[in-house]
Amino acid sequence: MEKPTVENKVKEIAEAMGLTYLCESWFRANQAFDRFRRQGDRREVTHPDGLTLPACLYVQPVAGFLNFTSQGFVRDAPSCLISFADAMPLDYKGAEAQEIAERLKGLAVRFIVAVNESGFFVPVAGQINYRVAFDKMDANLCIVTLSLTLQEQAGVCFDYGL
């Protein structure tokens, strides 16, 4: 059984939404996305490992906080970057790019709703910042990235062998 980490919970939610899921650094994600191959001039792409687009990328967190309770539990709360990526036309027009970005923002909204319905995390509410990138990766992708803190609802009692 996998440990009940924030990342595993995000993975479960993304996969339940039918999305390809990756947990990588930006560098490794770029390598994975670069393996997608375009079929002619169409947006349809293939991947040697069978991955599909759109995809959810959990960028490995570099910060966060641990919330210690008086009952001996610890709740992890990483500062997360969660991205949604899809293929772009090779010579995209502004309207095409905006349409794809809006669709990915819709996926992001569905993801937050699923996070809140999962019971895994303290409900996400209020303002959530996002960024849209069209040329961040070597592959021709549109990427919408959410920046948020996901705090576990229930803590885990850790035995560090002290």
Of residues 90 and 120, more confidently modeled: 120
Q: Please state the pTM of the whole predicted model.
A: 0.87
Establish if 48 belongs to a structural domain: yes
Domain that holds residue 143: 6-149
Provide the pLDDT confidence category of residue 156 given band limits of 50, 70 and 90: low
Average pLDDT over residues 95-108: 96
Provide the pLDDT confidence category of residue 9 given band limits of 50, 70 and 90: very high
Establish if 125 belongs to a structural domain: yes
The per-residue DSSP string of the chain comes to -----HHHHHHHHHHHTT-EEEEE-HHHHHHHHHT-EE-TTSS-EE-TT---SSEEEEEPPS-EEEEE-TTS-EEEEEEEEEEEEEE--TT--HHHHHHHHHHHHHHHHHHHHHHHHHSSBSPP-S--EEEEESSSSSS-EEEEEEEEE--BSS-B------
Whole-number mean pLDDT of the chain? 86
Establish if 67 belongs to a structural domain: yes
Q: By mean pLDDT, which of 5-14, 120-129, 131-140 is the weakest?
A: 131-140
Establish if 122 belongs to a structural domain: yes
Provide the pLDDT confidence category of residue 50 given band limits of 50, 70 and 90: low
Of residues 69 and 97, more confidently modeled: 97
44 pLDDT higher than 60 = no
Number of structural domains in the chain:
1
39 pLDDT higher than 60 = no
Establish if 118 belongs to a structural domain: yes
